[in-house]
Structure 1
């Protein structure tokens, strides 16, 4: 394979763009899903709240291979979801981009929910109660109160979700394997290079991911410091 001017091959760029696509889609979906979950956990008094919190936090303690295995059993040709899709004339979701996207959303869910949950708790219920008494509906309250007051939480949730998806490996490898242009993201490609003893290529991509992770974490800590100072 010929190197480009940047020292990266076409295979590398393919994995880079696939990784960016996966991270972007995952982050967008997570913000939609995590916002109502975090809001319910912050304000609800349901007896199921502890159970929901535990389920959301499971990816933090489960080995990625365990989660990937059960996702494969669920979405594969013999799983409940995969077999149902096949009976309807569709293809099962194992070894596909859609499959690893679903797995990424599940695996990174706590990294979106936790910052939003903390932001909603810090905001409290009083601003919403005042707005409701003035006639504001739920949608108005979300855009005029929740988003401005909790913007720090949304920034942290976005950056953490993106960064965590960027570093996913075990879940994706178990469910998606290493299919070029479909499931071979950067972390999997680095593994492939290492297995092939192409340490120079693995080092180049690993260094890029290291720098990207440092930048993202710096943004997270900057956002946390800025918005915590604003609250003071």
Structure 2
């Protein structure tokens, strides 16, 4: 092993999946053949693990060791089941605050968001299994260790999490520039979840269709959008402001 968050080799990754290690992403050499690689790909599909098929040179940049065409990133934190995370938060607080990240891909943005989430009392962060930024050493560093403090869950689809939260009495608000409603006109005082989108595409249209409210920030300059971690911080601190000392 190169470090605590990386394993390499076809058989080693297969065994890690069988052992239910929290694998964030598997990198497989394009065109890799053999019975073991077929077995690995079957396990990846069965377990819904994020995978990328990359050139041999990419794998060489990930590790200097003999990777046999496969490298996997292991999350340094443990993820909870969605139901477990939500139920625990609802038991501890009358009006919990959740954060959903739809296809956020930059690990440093992810780390900065986790840090702000911890500082603003977020009770749980929910991300999608595929396409989401992994929890890497850079994520941990950027979060200033907050990644070990905020409960997190992974789901197959963000919409599934939204439906579950709504059924649990949680109002879901999406940050979107495609609305006329400002953040300051939306109530964040009750149990609620804030949805933030990816750096380049924002929140997917299918997710926007099922949220309870959409809200935007006023942009008074020439630039048409904020960095997602900055926008997320504004949303979360507006929740803090509205809730006061509750």
TM tier, shorter chain?
A: under 0.3
Structure with greater contact order relative to length (CA < 8 Å, sep ≥ 6): 1
Name the structure with the higher helix share: 1
TM-score by length of 2: 0.25
- Which has the higher Rg, Structure 1 or Structure 2? 1
